[in-house]
Chain A
Amino acid sequence: MVEHAMIDYYELLRVSPEASKLDIINAYRRAKLTFRKDSLAVYSLYSEEELTLVRHQVDKAYAVLSDREKRQTYDVQQGYVSSAGFEDSAWLDEDELKAEYEASEEVSAAAQKIADNVVTLHPRKARDYDPDLERRLQTAEEFPGVLLREVREYRGISLQDIAQQTRISMGYLKAIEVEDHSALPAKAYLKGYVGQYAAEIGLEPHRVVQGYPPLSGE
């Protein structure tokens, strides 16, 4: 087994030792996506246990590289920087960073599990089979946001999953579920978004688009 001290965190995340904090966040998200459970990109190469190990290493790398002090110590340890002249330019303005954090829900949301700045992704939990809801879906003509949300939760799909699959922003997805007219996009876009959302939760897009109240009004 490879010792942890031997793993180069920069190499693991595929970033250069001069990478900015933003680069590291992006690289970390990519790594999490790449080595997630059921990831297509590792198919046939890694077993489940190996994947868990890799994810663990990735988390560890991020825990160090995303923390200013820990990274500094690490750089000195690994000989990337001499302890005397630590180059500060890689660090972004705190405000910019904050904005970036807020933009990436999955990073900020579940950040507290392993260490205080490491992410674990939510496992899906599907609810038990619900014949009543299934029957309602068969006949439903109206698909208000609350129903969409109910179906989504019933299927055990998180909003993040949908955002990841469809590249629709979390803001819009949330607005679709609460039918927040002020936050919804223009109708032409909304139509497409609602359709994609519906497809993700296993409903027929055209039925949902037709039955979604903010689209049918006026």
Chain B
Amino acid sequence: MARVVVNVPPEAKRGEVIEIRTLAGHPMETGFRRTQLGEVIPRDIIRTLVCTYNGVEVFRAELHPAIAANPLLSFTTVATESGTLEFRWTGDNGFSATEKAAIKVV
């Protein structure tokens, strides 16, 4: 299971814009590199990251081989209500990882 980390403030004021940072452990193999024997190393990357806030999609990113290994993505959302943020990464070779973070809106 891939190691993923998300950073979401545990508490926020209603209507406040919060910054979310996500990091996933993944080599992001580009598919353009070769071994010393000249064989192409097949592509193995994370293709998408979707973030849902209480079931509603608030952010979606499509990643390409030009994203560095261990992809970091930071974005913002409005703290509307208390609940959970769910993050789902999907990629090549059936890669899938999920993470949840709770937020309390006061």
| A is bound by B | no
